Amino acid sequence: MDTPVVNLTELLRRALTAQVELGLGEMVITPKAVRKTAEQKESETISTKKQAAPGDLFTTLEKPVAEPEYSSLEEHRAAICNCRLCPLGDTRTTFVYGVGNPNADILFVGEAPGRDEDLQGEPFVGRAGKLLDKILAAMELSRNEVYIANILKCRPPNNRDPLPDEMEKCFPYLREQVRLIRPKMICALGRIAGQALLKTSTPLGRLRGQWHEYEGIPTIVTYHPAALLRFPTYKKGTWEDMQTLLERLKQSR
**Whole-number Å distance between alpha carbons of 103 and 112:** 22
Quick one: 175 exposed, middle or buried, by C-beta within 10 A (0-12, 13-18, 19+)?
Answer: middle
Pairing of strands 99-100, 185-189: unpaired
Per-residue confidence of the chain (253 residues) as pLDDT tens digits? 444 444 665 555 665 555 544 545 444 343 344 344 444 444 443 333 334 444 445 544 544 445 678 999 999 999 999 999 999 999 999 999 999 999 999 999 999 999 999 999 999 999 999 999 999 999 999 999 999 999 999 999 999 999 999 999 999 999 999 999 999 999 999 999 999 999 999 999 999 999 999 999 999 999 999 999 999 999 999 999 999 999 999 998 8
Q: Global pTM?
A: 0.78
Q: Which domains does the chain have, with CATH numbers?
A: 67-252 (3.40.470.10)
**Whole-number Å distance between alpha carbons of 224 and 234:** 10
